[in-house]
Structure 1
Amino acid sequence: MKKVIFYFLLISFVFPNFIIAQLKPVDYNDDNQKLSGFISKPSKALKSKAGILILPAWMGIDDHAKESATELSKLGFYAFVADIYGVGNKPTNYTEAGQKAGFYKKNYADYQKRIQLALEQLVKQGANPNDIVVMGYCFGGSGAIEAARANMKVKGIVSFHGGLGRDESRTIDAINAKVLVLHGADDPYESEAEIKSFQEEMRKAKSDWQMIYYANAVHSFTDKNAGNDNSKGAAYNEKANKRSWIALLQFLKEVL
């Protein structure tokens, strides 16, 4: 109970406009492909009308992404959950998810386009185009990094246990948005070489970046449906989940 009270007080201190919000579907298009995301509007927005774009994990829009949108809108943010795969393309199992996510990781320009379209919807729903942060989980975390690489018009990027790799043949351009990477210290899906390459990329891009490691955490540490067996490589970690959410709130306070 003490932890719950402390967490609520922390949120109330950082974001005094803690209010009730509602999630609603939003249909939009990428040429002939229908997309369907979700908006959660605050009943009392922050003065800046800041917006948060949420990129889901590899199974597509899920409860985790929706819950994050709802919680953020309670704090006064406009929060939009992006549809990356499109209507009728949601994977039904991990094999399909791996194939679909793999396509967008390889064809990163297509991924960036879907992210940009979602950003436009967030603005159409009322968010200030000059005060936006992109965040994502796992595959969505990779997408958040791609938004940074594309230098989309956003102030901040937050990746929760996302993929950090990139094709070494790609050029490294300057990154204007501030970048926060929240990473499981024992995540087996990101090699030391890939992490080192990412950090060097951030330096070359002259990015204002930070990377936080969470002890005893593997991939998917924010996903309550990932189980608790670290030996599988992906598992929920309550402590890392809470700490990373607080890190997100502190980051949003700084950049927005």
Structure 2
Amino acid sequence: MHTRDLDYRCGDTNLRGYLAFNNDARGKRPGALVFHEGLGLGDFAMERARRLAERGYVALAADMFGERKQAATLQEVSALVGALRDEPATLRARGRAALAALAALPEVDAGRCVAIGYCFGGSVALELARDGAELKAVASFHGVLSTKLPATEGAVKASVLVLTGAEDPLAPPDQVAAFKDEMRAAKVADWQLVSYGNALHGFANPAADGSIMRAALYDAQADRRSWAAMHGLFDEVLA
């Protein structure tokens, strides 16, 4: 497997992503974006990129904060994430910059790209879908579902998969209901929402042990099932 850092830009901001793909494969392959959690681009998103590369994707773990900034506390997470969520146009632009960098690679079939994200990254994947990005599908794992710019009718081109914990305080029932209403109002052609019983925030990350956020806790069953659900959708739309 070939892995390396990949620098790309959005305006004046340098973004340092992490690229993974099988360098023994021939021909163009589907591309996959991986958007990180609120802590920044680290080992978890990189590991998921490598897992996607093992499945035949050219995977780019994107950097949403610039220069691969890392947060160590909830206060730092709040500052980094809040700055982007308060400026959804900037958030979407950085997501699109990652997609453009991935699609431009010679190994990638630009017409067969997907995106996934975890926590904050899940909301980034959804924002790209709302913005009409050229993606076959997006999958949000325990992501925030609320948005300042709801999808408009006909804008969403991607198939949308939301994988959420039934006990996740960052995706409470009212926001789940609002997301469903948003998808219906925008007449999104293909969307799903799967809620995993008893699962909290961060259920897909083995490092989520409640130490940084008490409501973030790994759930092996929900992790396994959500990963399988993602592959089921991606295999279908990329066939």
C-alpha displacement at 1:123, in angstroms? Answer: 1.5
TM-score normalised by L of structure 2: 0.92
In the alignment, what sits opposite 2:169?
Answer: 188
List runs of 5+ in structure 1 lacking aligned partners.
Answer: 1-20
- Distance, in Å, in 2 between the alignment partners of 1:222 and 1:106 is 26
Q: 1:197 corresponds to which residue? A: 178
2:102 to 105, 115, 122: 122
Determine the structure 1 residue equivalent to 2:79: 99
1:88 deviates by 6.3
Question: Do the aligned residues in 2 keep the contact of 1:43 with 1:76 (CA within 8 Å)?
Answer: no
> Matches of residues 66-145 of structure 1 in structure 2 within 5 Å?
66-87=46-67, 89-125=69-105, 126-145=107-126
Are 1:213 and 2:195 an aligned pair?
yes
Q: What TM-score, normalized by structure 1, do the two folds share?
A: 0.86
Q: 1:253, 1:234 → 2: CA distance?
A: 29
Shift of 1:47: 6.1
Shift of 1:43: 2.8
1:37 and 2:12 correspond? no
Instruction: State, as a whole percentage, how many aligned pairs show the same letter.
Output: 33
Which residue number corresponds to residue 16 of structure 1?
none
Counting matched residue pairs gives 234
Residue 51 in structure 1 maps to residue 34 in structure 2: no
Name the structure where helix makes up a greater proportion of residues: 1
Instruction: Say whether the 8 Å CA contact 2:151–2:186 is kept in structure 1.
Output: no
* Change beyond 3 A, Cα 1:45–1:199: farther
Aligned to 1:9: none
Out of 218, 225, 229, the position equivalent to 2:207 is 225
1:253 partnered with 2:235 = yes
Runs of 4+ more than 4 Å apart: 44-48
Q: Against the structure 1 CA distance between its residues 48 and 200, is the aligned structure 2 distance closer, same or farther, given a 3 Å change threshold? A: farther
In the alignment, what sits opposite 2:160?
179
Post-superposition offset of 1:170:
5.0
Gaps of 5+ in 2: none
Partner of 1:154: 135
Give the distance between the partners of 2:100 and 2:171, measured in 1 at CA: 31
Q: Offset at 1:98?
A: 1.3
Mapped partners of 2:224, 2:34: distance in 1: 18
Q: Which amino acid aligns with 2:205?
A: D
How far apart, in 1, do the equivalents of 2:196 and 2:160 lie? 17
The Cα shift of 1:42 comes to 1.8
Alpha-carbon RMSD: 1.9
Structure 1 residues 156 and 88, CA, compared in 2 at 3 Å: closer, same or farther?
closer
CA distance in 1, matches of 2:81, 2:236: 31
- In structure 2, what is the Cα distance between the partners aligned to 1:80 and 1:88? 13
| Residue from 241, 245, 249 that aligns with 2:223 | 241
